[in-house]
Amino acid sequence: MLQLKVIREEKKRILDGLRKRNWNAQQLKVIDQILQVDDQRRNNQNELDNTLAENNKLSKLIGQMMGQGKKEEAEALKLQVANHKEKVKVLEDQQRTIETDLENLLYSVPNIPHKSVPRGKTPEENKVAKDWTKPFPVLPEDAAAHWDLGKKYNLFDFELGVKLTGAGFPVYRGKGARLQRALVQFFLDEAVKAGFEEINPPLLVNEATARGTGQLPDKEAQMYACDLDKLYLIPTAEVPVTNIYRDEIVSIKDLPIKMTAFTPCFRREAGAWGAHVRGLNRVHQFEKIEIVQIVHPDESYKTLQAMIRHVAGLLNKLELPYRILKLCGGDMGFASALTYDFEVWSAAQKRWLEVSSVSNFETFQTNRMKLRFRDENGKIELAHTLNGSALALARIVAALLENNQTPEGIKIPKALQKYTGFKTIE
RNA sequence: GGAGGAAUGGGUGAGUGGCUGAAACCACCGGUUUGCUAAACCGACGUACGGGUAUAACCUGUACCGCGGGUUCGAAUCCCGCUUCCUCCGCCA
């Protein structure tokens, strides 16, 4: 959620930013609407406060008169207060309505892209920030895609998942399951080594938490919900982990706060199914190690770079070819100010697979979450939040299997061997 | 699931209708003293949203004592509902 103050004071920058997200004139009107409702809000609040102030004064007077035994005068004042009460009620109702309207309007506006974000409408217009310059793995003519490899070596079973749950819920087994666990352990160890505190959060969250990171309102269709208990299955660990600090004022000394968590992620992916989603490319449940940072606003872009280096380091250790994209205005997530995507090369499918997304949200999440810190002078300021996948499993598994297939079986990268306990899947 | 108790500022905790945005103590912060540390002493010490041309620390209004409602001229204090926590019983990975 954007800060009202910023919209008021930097309207031009806000409008320019939204244009970068390809907002048209019609859509941009919402900004004026926000300013208008905000005026209403302030006027109404002013009137309400003044009325209440008067009541408070009168009430005090009544108390004094009662004490002095001036009963009749007190009764007269009571009538006055009673009149005001009607007015207060109306003003309070109005205020509530106005505030809800304003909040809903604010919720509908995405974050303002960082100045370095390229213009563009579609994923094709993302900029390659770092390309893969070495040769790609060369596979034999009859190289198999991961879904066939999974069958051949009995690593995972989609049909079985359908039987148990539905499409998009693979069952991993044998070395396939072990490979999952190895990756989880590896990624977590690396994150902890990099100074992130390991968090093991709940997988179901309440409404306030889903709201804090921006899943609600609007994106409920992307989450699985437990209606009976009004809980949501997390689409990413970002949700519970970032919300740990919701409604908190931390000391500047506590920054940066670095957290990592391994969780399964549940995504309905409503309407996202198409030609390219076979096998592990897109599933409803997958495992992911997330890294989250809460930092001083002056540090957040430096931090973003550090997080990118961390993710790149993981891919290097896994010996996977990857490239880094800087997302264009049209492809960026709602809450992000700047996002880098990591894609690994899937040699058998001959395409790039997105395996990580690292973003700086600046104050977009912290404003809505009221996550603040006290600076050197004791002043309270919104912190910046960042997060990134480090990494998501399903597609990493897909790429590992495909790229490392040989006639003798699938080779496990060196860094992973101590976690898998085997060097080859045959 | 049944019975009882509790919820106050960063922490402990006082406060049962107006003098309470809230005692006291601790912690934190600033200062004095000190060879250093410690101790002692002094001072400051909530948040949000408005207004005052006031996004450097100023003045002022309003709201907030778990959450939501109600009673009253006036509620941290009385009433109702909810949530959470604790204790006991039952059940159970």
CA–CA dist A193, A169 (Å, integer): 31
Is the minimum distance from the CB of A55 to strand B below 7 Å?
yes
pLDDT averages per 10-residue partition of chain A, 426 residues? 91 93 94 94 91 89 80 82 84 90 92 94 91 85 84 90 89 93 96 94 89 79 83 92 89 89 88 65 91 93 96 95 95 94 89 93 92 84 93 90 89 94 90
Is the minimum distance from the CB of A85 to strand B below 7 Å?
yes
CA of A251 to C1' of B37 (A): 26
CA of A343 to C1' of B16 (A): 66
Residue A51 φ/ψ, nearest 5 degrees:
-65, -45
- E strands, A146-284, in order: 156-157, 171-172, 197-199, 204-205, 225-226, 231-233, 249-251, 257-266
CA of A311 to C1' of B46 (A): 41
Q: What is the pLDDT of residue A287?
A: 94
Q: What is the pLDDT of residue A75?
A: 83
CA–CA dist A308, A85 (Å, integer): 58
Residue A395, C-beta contacts closer than 8 angstroms, at least 6 positions apart: A280, A281, A344, A346, A353, A354, A355
Question: A171-201 burial string, b = 16+ CB within 10 Å, else e?
Answer: bbeebbebbbebbbbbbbebbeebebeebeb
- E strands, A363-413, in order: 372-374, 380-382, 384-392, 405-406, 409-411
A82 burial level (CB within 10 Å; 0-12, 13-18, 19+): exposed
Residue with tokens 């609407």: A33
The complex scores an ipTM of 0.85
Structure tokens at A65: 């008169």
CA of A342 to C1' of B51 (A): 50
Is the minimum distance from the CB of A208 to strand B below 7 Å?
no
CA–CA dist A223, A231 (Å, integer): 10
Q: What is the pLDDT of residue A420?
A: 94
User: Which residue has the closest alpha carbon to B17 C1'?
Assistant: A63
Question: A211-249 burial string, b = 16+ CB within 10 Å, else e?
Answer: bbbbbbeeeeebbbbeeeeebbbbbbbbbbbbbbbbebe
CA–CA dist A189, A116 (Å, integer): 33
Cis check for the bond before A140: say yes or no (omega within 30 of 0).
Answer: no
Structure tokens at A25: 């004139």
Cis check for the bond before A256: say yes or no (omega within 30 of 0).
Answer: yes
Is the minimum distance from the CB of A66 to strand B below 7 Å?
yes
Nucleotide nearest to A377 (CA to C1'): B57
Q: What is the pLDDT of residue A272?
A: 59
CA of A53 to C1' of B50 (A): 12
Is the minimum distance from the CB of A78 to strand B below 7 Å?
yes
Distance, first Cα to last Cα, chain A:
51
Cβ atoms A289, A389 nearer than 8 A: yes
Structure tokens at A346: 């899937």
Q: What is the pLDDT of residue A349?
A: 84
